[in-house]
Structure 1
Amino acid sequence: MRVVVQRVSQASVKVDGEIAGEIGTGLLLFVGIEETDVHKDAEWLAQKIINLRIFGDEDGKMNRSVLDINGGILCISQFTLIADYRKGNRPSFIRAARPETAIPLFEYFKTELTKSQLNVQSGIFGADMKVSLLNDGPVTITMDSRP
């Protein structure tokens, strides 16, 4: 699994002009799932993400996690994160999980995040989504469940 983590002041996602999910201060997660990903990948990333200390403390140092600030999490499925761009100019998505594999794993990942008792929102898997965000910092980190 590959996740792009963005620290945000606010974020929302619309599908067909309607808000599907929105948060205030917290984390916007773009989530890409490969065919070989399993529950262990989702569990490891969920724990890493909720404990990732990228929010400022009273001295302005990145010492607080989304848990510490009681922030929100907005998850967006994004198969394009699994693009193979090394050959030619048109990216290949052959390693991206097909919906029958990706949807249950994406839902499992969200469930793992929800165990934190934080407000976890999401877009709609496979939908044409319009994501709006106010990146805070900016702080953007790419995480992979495997090297």
Structure 2
Amino acid sequence: MKTNIAIILASKDFRDEEYFITKEVLEKQENKIKSVSNEKKAIGRFGGEVFTDILIEELDIDNFDAVVFVGGSGAIELLDNDISYSICQKCVEKNKILAAICISPVDGNIITANGPDASEEFALSIDKILKTSNI
């Protein structure tokens, strides 16, 4: 079963590995990925470029099974606002998978990971929970 996943990243200084590895692993597991940011083009800390599919203020989580927040120094500005808080709140209310890579616990449908070295395991955890849950 293909699932739809929104990966949210900062338009400046997202952590390249956390985005690109997570996206690649999830796509290999036959998930459909949409990139979301506060601008149409995002530049990673190490120069990786992403042309986003959806602006964050236009994200409708009803169209997704999971929402993933990518870290990096730019994520602080992206996350600390009403739009991001609303997305997180809606994910919890609607029993969606909510994931963020930067710290490591998993609590029900909330999945986090500890930094770029954990990107592959992080993505596989998201895929596993999506495949074993009734979302």
Q: TM-score, normalised by structure 1?
A: 0.28
Larger strand share, 1 or 2: 1
Larger helix share, 1 or 2: 2
Larger CA Rg, structure 1 vs 2: 1
Structure scoring higher RCO (CA < 8 A, sep ≥ 6) equals: 1
Q: TM-score, normalised by structure 2?
A: 0.30
